[in-house]
Structure 1
């Protein structure tokens, strides 16, 4: 599709969620479990560090698609993202 291997890089933004902080609701969504997709080490790293580390782990891909996992969403200011 893209002419070469593309690998997804999952990121943990450490952001909240409007379904948890009271903006829309409380308690989150039933499908959302932050512990299921990011280990403690990744959670404390900046987004930039995570991108650098994850891209360095994957040698077969030349392009990457970075995305925020469930719960971290994109619930932050554009400058942060």
Structure 2
């Protein structure tokens, strides 16, 4: 091997090493995201299985009181002010 070939080999090795260093964080991020997506999917499937078993119980318990939201409270206040000023 001549000196030029050795320098070319070293140069290619350095370029490949830099490419690996740049691509490695992205590859690790993709792997991590897929693992998290799989965990989320498994949790949703487990929740759906539990939900289908307790859905009948939830439908029976409709006697709990409901509290109006802040938007409803604000809108009712505005309506009453308009009626008073008319």
Q: Calculate the TM-score normalised by the size of structure 1.
A: 0.18
Larger radius of gyration: 2
Question: If each structure's strand is expressed as a fraction of its own residues, which one has the higher value?
Answer: 1
- Structure 1 or 2: more helix by fraction: 2
> Which has the higher relative contact order, 1 or 2, with Cα contacts under 8 A spaced 6 or more apart?
1
